[in-house]
Amino acid sequence: GAVVSQHPSWVICKSGTSVKIECRSLDFQATTMFWYRQFPKKSLMLMATSNEGSKATYEQGVEKDKFLINHASLTLSTLTVTSAHPEDSSFYICSATYGLAQSDTQYFGPGTRLTVL
């Protein structure tokens, strides 16, 4: 149980275009979803936290107009990279949880590899 999927698994786009990444909790309703970015040989960097029906909370240094997050339902969150540029190329990972305690487990998607040409 507790499976999280992401779509697409990889995407290549031209500079200036926008790309949408979906994150779905397949067998549970997620109270909170998280978006991370992972650079090569670096740790996961939390970009934003989103709750269904409310605005996402972005981490310091993350441009909210650049990385649009929509959490439309308890099982779906989307991340849109607007006007993508080569420096946005990265591995984007989402996670979801159905608990509210700090010890509750986050369930991770397999990630989406974005390459901007």
Count of residues binding another protein (CB under 8 A)?
27
Phi and psi angles of residue 52, each rounded to the nearest 5 degrees, phi first: -55, 130
Q: Binding to another protein by residue 101, rule CB under 8 A?
A: yes
88, 114 contact by CB (below 8 A): yes
In the set 13, 20, 70, 108, which binds another protein (CB under 8 A)?
Answer: 108
Closest CB 63 distance from another protein, rounded Å: 19
What does the alpha-carbon distance between residue 75 and residue 14 come to, in Å, rounded to a whole number? 29
Which of the residues 11 through 70 are near another protein (CB under 8 A)?
32, 34, 41-44, 46, 49, 57
Q: How many residues does the chain have?
A: 117
Apex CA 52: angle with CA 33 and CA 89, to 5°? 45
Does position 103 interact with another protein (CB under 8 A)? The reply is yes
117/114 Cα distance (integer angstroms): 10
Residue whose CB is less far from another protein, 87 or 102: 102
Residues that bind another protein (CB under 8 A): 4, 6, 32, 34, 41-44, 46, 49, 57, 93, 95, 97, 99-111
